[in-house]
Amino acid sequence: MKSRILAAYFMMAVFFVFSLAVFVAAADESGYLSKDQVVNDDYISAYQTVDVQGTVNGDVIMTGGTVDFSGKSSGDLLAAGGNIRLRGQNDGNIRAAGGNVFIEGSTGKNVTAAGGNISLGENSDILGNAYLAGGMVETKGTIGKNLKVAGGNVILAGTVKGNAEIMSDQVTARPDAKIGGNLTYYSNSDLNIDKKIVAGEIIRKNVPIKIRKDNSLGVFLGAQLFGFLGILVLAYIFYKLFPKNSRDIFRMLLEKDSWKMIALGIFAMIVIPVAAIIFMITIIGMPLAMVLIFVFISAMFLSKAIASVALGHVINVRLKPQEFTQSFPFMDFILGYLILEVLMLIPFLGQLAAFLIFLWAFGALSKYAYDGFQKKTS
Instruction: Tell me, yes or no, whether 283 lies in a domain.
Output: yes
Cα angle 265-270-271, degrees, rounded to a multiple of 5: 100
What was the pLDDT predicted at 37?
92
| Number of other residues whose CB lies within 10 A of the CB of residue 338 | 14
153 and 70 in one domain?
Answer: yes
3-state SS, residue 345: coil
Give 12-63 as a DSSP string: HHHHHHHHHHHHHHTTT-EEEE-TT-EESS-EEEESSEEEE-SEESS-EEEE
Kindly state the DSSP code that residue 198 receives in the 8-state scheme. Answer: B
159 and 22 in one domain?
Answer: yes
Domain count, the chain: 2
Instruction: Tell me, yes or no, whether 308 lies in a domain.
Output: yes
What was the pLDDT predicted at 130?
93
353 and 252 in one domain?
Answer: yes
**From CA 127, how far away is CA 298, in angstroms rounded?**
37
**From CA 318, how far away is CA 310, in angstroms rounded?**
13
168 and 276 in one domain?
Answer: no
Residue 22 CA: distances (Å) to CA of 12, 235, 271, 369? 15, 11, 24, 16
What was the pLDDT predicted at 255?
80
12 and 136 in one domain?
Answer: yes
Instruction: Tell me, yes or no, whether 221 lies in a domain.
Output: no
Residues of the chain with pLDDT under 70: 1-30, 46, 188-189, 207-226, 282-285, 316-327, 373, 376-378
Whether 142 contacts 126, CB under 8 Å: yes
276 and 165 in one domain?
Answer: no
Of the candidates 339, 334, 314, the residue with the CA atom closest to the CA atom of residue 324 = 314
150 and 31 in one domain?
Answer: yes
Between strands 60-69 and 72-73, the pairing is unpaired
3-state SS, residue 125: strand
Partners of 114 in beta bridges: 97, 133
What was the pLDDT predicted at 13?
41
Instruction: Tell me, yes or no, whether 315 lies in a domain.
Output: yes
Q: How do residues 192-225 score in pLDDT, each as one tens digit? A: 778 888 899 888 887 654 444 444 445 555 566 6
**From CA 225, how far away is CA 223, in angstroms rounded?**
5
What was the pLDDT predicted at 331?
77
263 and 140 in one domain?
Answer: no
90 and 30 in one domain?
Answer: yes
41 and 155 in one domain?
Answer: yes
255 and 200 in one domain?
Answer: no
Structural domain for 343, as ranges: 243-377
Cβ neighbours of residue 190 closer than 8 Å, sequence gap 6 or more: 204
**From CA 85, how far away is CA 120, in angstroms rounded?**
10
Instruction: Tell me, yes or no, whether 227 lies in a domain.
Output: no
174 and 42 in one domain?
Answer: yes
| Number of other residues whose CB lies within 10 A of the CB of residue 100 | 17
